[in-house]
Amino acid sequence: MERGESKYIDQISVVVCTRNEEEMIERCLQHLVSQEIRPEIIIIDGHSNDQTLHIAQKYADIILFDHGEGISEARNIGWRAARHPVVAFCDADCLPDKKWTRNLLAAMKPGIIGVSGPLCAYDGDLTTRINIRIWADWFPRCLAWFGFYNIWGANMGFPKSTLEKHPFRLRFLEDYDLGQRLRKSGEGRLCFENSILMPMSSRRFKDGFYQTVLQFYIRTLILMKMFHKYDFQGYYIPSQKPEGPVLSVHRE
């Protein structure tokens, strides 16, 4: 392997956490199965009561239920089920470009312990799309110039060994929290790669971009930093903790 070359060739799993995503999930999964490097697709479902699971079974390699404990628990179930050494995450409303997994793997160079990239919106009004482009694309690109590498939960990937040491732990802003811990770990570097652009829906900002940012992000960050409060629900609404066994579907 040449210096600076990724040691991962084509072994990557992608985890998608879902809860009643019948309107969005099929397009996302169609984009994943059409990747130039086809990933293992893992669905972690929050006990959907719509057609999400019926749709997912057409595309996914592994389908599991979460246990009703929130987004970090769902993500942790996902990467632990992964059979490949690199695990990526996207949301059910994402439409990854066909080169997404290839570019993500290429960015996993020696010493890299986490990779992310910019986000953009493919729907919504013009003002919302511009604001997402500014704050989820251009702004983190600028931060990267100064050595601060951001992680977006809808567009991130890690060696599985990284997640084994540093699992997700918060119900909201779990990506921010993980990024903070990895930066402080001294175990390697994060990478914000511009070529790993992820189109996503702007549906979370339907009540207004800045109103949503203030309600969910700024308020939560202030409470975390000033009062050390961490148990926030956010906008991922899991099921109630189920009784009985979890669903387990594996496609060989």
Q: Is pLDDT above 90 for 234?
A: no
Residues in contact with 103: Cβ distance below 8 Å, sequence separation at least 6, in sequence order: 117, 193, 195, 196
Q: Which two tokens stand for residue 170?
A: 């918060």
CATH code, residues 12-247: 3.90.550.10
φ, ψ (nearest 5 deg) of residue 124:
90, 175
* Residue spans of alpha helices (H) in the chain: 25-33, 52-56, 71-81, 100-107, 126-133, 139-145, 160-165, 174-185, 209-212, 219-227
**For the residues 64-93, what does the mean pLDDT come to?**
95
Structure-model confidence comparison of residues 194 and 230, the more confident one? 194
C-alpha to C-alpha distances, 38 to 99, 158, 165, 196, nearest whole angstrom? 10, 17, 26, 16
pLDDT digits (tens, 9 = 90+) for 14-62: 999 999 999 999 999 999 999 999 999 999 999 999 999 999 999 999 9
How does residue 243 score in pLDDT terms, banded at 50, 70 and 90? Answer: very low
How does residue 218 score in pLDDT terms, banded at 50, 70 and 90? Answer: low
Mean pLDDT of the chain: 87
Give the start-to-end residue ranges of the domains of the chain.
12-247
Q: Is pLDDT above 60 for 208?
A: yes
Provide the pLDDT for residue 238. Answer: 46
Mean pLDDT is lowest, of 4-8, 31-35, 101-105, 141-145, for 4-8
pLDDT digits (tens, 9 = 90+) for 86-99: 999 999 999 999 99
In this structure, the strands spanning 40-45 and 62-65 are parallel
Provide the pLDDT for residue 9. Answer: 73
- DSSP letters for 154-180: TEEEEEHHHHHHS----SSSHHHHHHH
Q: Is pLDDT above 50 for 239?
A: no
Provide the pLDDT for residue 246. Answer: 46
Residue with tokens 């290839």: 102
Q: Is pLDDT above 70 for 236?
A: no
**For the residues 159-171, what does the mean pLDDT come to?**
94
Provide the pLDDT for residue 116. Answer: 98
